[in-house]
Amino acid sequence: MDDLCLSFKCWTNIDCCNHRDQKCNSSFNGCVCVCQQKWCEFKYIILLLPPVLNKDRWWFIVMSVLMWPPLFPMLFRQENVKFLRYLGRTKNLEFSRVIHAPFIVSDQWSQDNTPDLNLIDVYSKCEALGSAHHNGFAFEVVRLFKSMVSDHDESCLPPNEYISGLVLSSCLNIGYLSLGRQCHGYLLKSGLVFNQYVKAALVSLYSMLPDVVGAMEVLLCNPVGLQLDNNLILDGLVEKGYLGEALIILRRRILAENMAWDNATYIGIFGLCARLKDLNLGRQVHNKLLKSCDVESDESVCNVVINMYGKCKEIVSARKVFDRFESRNVVIWTTMLASYLEHGSFEESLKLFSEMRHKDVVPNESTFFVLLTVSSKLFSRRCGKLLHALSVKTGFNGHKNVENTLIDMYSRTGDIKAAEKVFLDMTNYRDIVTWNMMICGYSLHGFGNESLALFKKMLKSGEDPNYETFVGVLNASGHVEEGLYYLYELMKQKGVKPGLEHYMCIINMLIKGGRLKEALSFIVSTPSKWDAFAWSTFLTGCHAHGNYTLGIRAAELIPDDMATKVSKCCGVAQVREVMEIRGERGCSWMEIKDKTYVFASVHKGDGDQKFVEGHKMMKVLLSCLQFFLKEPDAYVEDKLKGDYDSYHSEALAIAYAIFETHDMAPICIIKASGRICSGCHHLMKLTSKVSKRLITVRDAYHFHNFQDGHCSCADYW
Can you give the three-state secondary structure of 406-422, one letter per residue? HHHHHHHCCCHHHHHHH
Give, to the nearest 10 degrees, the angle between helix 177-190 and helix 138-150.
30
Quote the CA–CA distance of 340 and 319 in Å, as a whole number. 9
How confident is the model over 368-388, as a mean pLDDT? Answer: 93
Quote the CA–CA distance of 468 and 263 in Å, as a whole number. 38
Half-sphere exposure of 254 (CA within 13 A, CB side): 23
Q: Which of 143-157, 663-677, 680-694: highest mean pLDDT?
A: 680-694
pLDDT at 214: 60
Quote the CA–CA distance of 402 and 362 in Å, as a whole number. 15
pLDDT at 145: 74
The larger pLDDT score, comparing residue 257 to residue 280, is at 280
Phi-psi label, residue 336: left if phi above 0, alpha if psi -120 to 50, beta otherwise: alpha
CB atoms inside a 10 Å sphere around CB 191: 9
pLDDT at 580: 41
Half-sphere exposure of 291 (CA within 13 A, CB side): 7
pLDDT at 278: 93
With CA atoms as reference, report the closest residue to 299 among 311, 291, 307.
307
pTM: 0.69
Cα-only R_g, the chain: 36
The rounded Cα 61 to chain-centroid distance in angstroms is: 53
pLDDT at 160: 76
Quote the CA–CA distance of 381 and 415 in Å, as a whole number. 8
Quote the CA–CA distance of 533 and 539 in Å, as a whole number. 10
- pLDDT, tens digit, for every residue of 354-363? 999 999 999 9
Element containing residue 263 per DSSP (H, E)? helix 263-276
pLDDT at 238: 85
The larger pLDDT score, comparing residue 252 to residue 116, is at 252
Quote the CA–CA distance of 713 and 445 in Å, as a whole number. 8
With CA atoms as reference, report the closest residue to 150 among 182, 124, 118, 180.
182
What proportion of the chain, given as a percentage, has pLDDT over 70? Answer: 68
The larger pLDDT score, comparing residue 507 to residue 255, is at 507
| Bridge-based pairing state of the strands 595-600 and 587-592 | antiparallel
Instruction: Using pLDDT thresholds of 50, 70 and 90, give the confidence band for residue 228.
Output: low
The larger pLDDT score, comparing residue 356 to residue 53, is at 356
pLDDT at 338: 95
What proportion of the chain, given as a percentage, has pLDDT over 90? Answer: 29
Q: What are the C-alpha distances in Å from 113 to residues 71, 72, 77, 124, 172?
A: 17, 14, 11, 17, 30
How confident is the model over 437-444, as a mean pLDDT? Answer: 94
With CA atoms as reference, report the closest residue to 204 among 179, 188, 180, 178.
180
- pLDDT, tens digit, for every residue of 580-620? 433 345 788 888 887 888 888 887 665 567 677 787 888 88
Quote the CA–CA distance of 218 and 206 in Å, as a whole number. 9
How confident is the model over 321-333, as a mean pLDDT? Answer: 92
For residue 81, pLDDT over 90 is answered with no
The larger pLDDT score, comparing residue 545 to residue 506, is at 506
Comparing 196-205, 343-352, 518-527, 666-675, which segment has the lowest mean pLDDT? 196-205
Angle at 12 between CA 9 and CA 15, to 5 degrees: 125
Could you report how far apart the first and last alpha carbons of the chain are, in Å? 78
Q: Which of 184-188, 241-245, 473-477, 639-643: highest mean pLDDT?
A: 473-477
| Bridge-based pairing state of the strands 646-647 and 602-603 | antiparallel
Quote the CA–CA distance of 188 and 201 in Å, as a whole number. 14
Instruction: Using pLDDT thresholds of 50, 70 and 90, give the confidence band for residue 578.
Output: very low
Q: Which residues, at least 6 apart from 128, have a Cβ–Cβ distance to it below 8 Å?
A: 93
For residue 557, pLDDT over 90 is answered with no
Instruction: Using pLDDT thresholds of 50, 70 and 90, give the confidence band for residue 456.
Output: very high
pLDDT at 551: 83
pLDDT at 717: 64
The larger pLDDT score, comparing residue 181 to residue 520, is at 520
Q: Mean pLDDT, the chain, as a whole number? A: 76
Task: State phi, psi for 669 to the nearest 5 degrees.
Answer: -120, 135
Long-range contacts of 5-14 (CB under 8 A, 24+ apart): 5/53, 5/57, 5/58, 7/45, 8/45, 8/58, 8/61, 9/61, 11/38, 11/41, 11/42, 11/45, 12/61, 12/64, 12/65, 14/38
Coil, strand, or helix at residue 596?
strand
Quote the CA–CA distance of 612 and 647 in Å, as a whole number. 11
- Helix segments in 195-226, DSSP class H: 196-208, 212-220
What is the longest distance spanned by two Cα atoms in the chain? 125
Secondary structure, 3-state, 435-501: HHHHHHHHHHCCCHHHHHHHHHHHHHCCCCCCHHHHHHHHHHCCCHHHHHHHHHHHHHHCCCCCCHH
Secondary structure, 3-state, 112-170: CCHHHHHHHHHHHHCCCCCCCCCCCCHHHHHHHHHHHHHCCCCCCCCCCHHHHHHHHHH
Quote the CA–CA distance of 350 and 340 in Å, as a whole number. 9
Element containing residue 668 per DSSP (H, E)? strand 667-671
Quote the CA–CA distance of 518 and 538 in Å, as a whole number. 11
Q: Which residues, at least 6 apart from 375, have a Cβ–Cβ distance to it below 8 Å?
A: 381, 383, 384, 387, 409, 413
Q: What are the C-alpha distances in Å from 448 to residues 285, 541, 659?
A: 51, 20, 32
For residue 46, pLDDT over 50 is answered with no
With CA atoms as reference, report the closest residue to 29 among 70, 85, 68, 90.
70
